[in-house]
Amino acid sequence: MQRLLGCGLLAVCTVSVGLAPCFAGPPFFTDDPVPVDYGHNEFYVFGTLDHAGGVNAIAGPAIEYNRGIAPDTQFHVVLPYAWNAPNRGATASGAGDVEVGIKCRFLNLDDGGLQVGVFPMAELGTGSARRGLGNGQTWYRLPLWVQKSVGAWTFDGGGGVIVNPAPGMYDASFGGAQAQYTFNPRWTLGVELFRQNALAIGQPGYTLLDVGGYLNFSRNFSLLFSAGGSVAGARHTVAYLGLYWTWASHG
C-alpha cells in the first residue's frame, strides 16, 4: 500500500494578509501554526492523488472540518473515502483512516508577523490495511510549524516525526518549506519543497516540489489546487483539488 504524508490531509487555516484568505496546509504538505479563530469554522470537500510505484492512492470524496474551540486552539477532523488503484489488477475502495488533531499556537509576535505552533494528530486505523486503504493501526504525526509574513508574502516551514507502530512501518521524520504570494483579493500562488523520509519497508523517502494556489470567489469561499512530483528519492506524482468554506458561529 502506498502511504503519502498529508496530500491535503494536513489542516488548513486562514491567515489574513489584508487582501483575502491565504492558506497553508491544503493544498500543500507544509502546514502553518495559525489556528482557526475562536468560534469560527472551516469546511472542505476535496480529493487527493498520489501516484507511485504503479499504484494510485486516492482520497476522495473527503471532507475536513476545523473549528476554533478556544483562543489559539483549533479542533481538526478529516473523513476520507479511499481508493487503492493499481495500474494492473483490481481497485479497492472504502473508508480510509480518520484524522483528528488539535492545533495550538504558542507564539504570536507583531500582530501575526511571526507565529509558532504545534499540530499533533492521530490517524485512526479505520481503513482496511488488507485492502490497501489504511494503516491497520492508529499512528501519530507530531509537527511544529513556523510562519513569517512580509507584506503580500507568507513563508511557512517546519516539520516533525511520525510514530507508527503498525507491522512493517517505520517511525520517520518529515519537513517542508513554502512561499506564497497574494497577487490580489482573488489569487494567491505558492511553491513548496517537502521531504518525507522512509515510511515503510519498500517505501523509500522522497523530496517533492509542489506548486499550487487559491482562487478566492469571496472571503468565505475558495477553490484550492496543487500538483507536483519528486525531485529526489522515490518517484511520486501528487495532486490536490478542493473547495473551502468558512463561517463564524458562537456557543
- Closest residue by Cα to residue 5 from 133, 195, 132, 228: 195
Q: What is the pLDDT of residues 206-249, one digit of tens each?
A: 999 999 999 999 999 999 999 999 999 999 999 999 999 999 98
pLDDT tier, 187 (very low <50, low <70, confident <90, very high otherwise): very high
Q: What cell does 63 get?
A: 471532507
| Residues 146/33, Cβ–Cβ less than 8 Å | yes
Residue 251 covered by a domain? no
Q: Report how many domains make up the chain.
A: 1
DSSP 37: P
Rounded CA-CA distance 126/31 in Å is 24
Compute the distance between CA of residue 52 and CA of residue 40 in angstroms, rounded to an integer: 37
166 is in which domain, residue-wise? 13-246
Evaluate whether residue 6 is within a structural domain: no
Provide the 3-class DSSP secondary structure of residue 205. coil
Per-residue pLDDT at 4: 32
pLDDT cut 90: percent of the chain above it: 83
Find the mean pLDDT for residues 34-44: 97
Chain position carrying cell 488539535: 102
> Which one is predicted more confidently, 102 or 112?
102
Question: Looking at the domain assignment, is residue 67 inside a domain?
Answer: yes
d(CA 204, CA 232): 11
Rounded to an integer, the average pLDDT of 69-92 is 96
Query: In sequence order, what are the beta bridge partners of 150?
Result: 153
Q: Report d(CA 201, CA 195) in Å as an integer.
A: 18
The DSSP 8-state label assigned to residue 59 in this structure reads E
* Domain presence at residue 1: no
* DSSP notation for 3-22: --S-SS-S--EEEE-SSSEE
**In what helix (H) or strand (E) does residue 187 lie, and over which residues does it extend?**
strand 187-196
Q: What CA–CA distance (Å, rounded) separates 72 from 34?
A: 8
What CATH number is associated with residue 56?
Answer: 2.40.160.40
pLDDT, average across residues 68-88? 96
> Considering the domain boundaries, does residue 213 fall inside one?
yes
- d(C-alpha 2, C-alpha 237), whole Å: 12
Examine residue 8 and state whether it is found in any structural domain, yes or no: no
Mean pLDDT across the chain, nearest whole number? 90
Residue 5 covered by a domain: no
168 vs 209: CA distance, rounded Å: 27
DSSP string, 67-116: EEEETTEEEEEEEEEEEEEESSS--EEEE---EEEEEEEEEEETTTTEEE
The proportion of the chain whose per-residue pLDDT surpasses 70, expressed as a percent, equals 90
| pLDDT tens figures, 201-218 | 888 999 999 999 999 999
189 inside domain: yes
> CA separation (Å) from 170 to 115, 163, 232?
31, 8, 20
pTM: 0.89
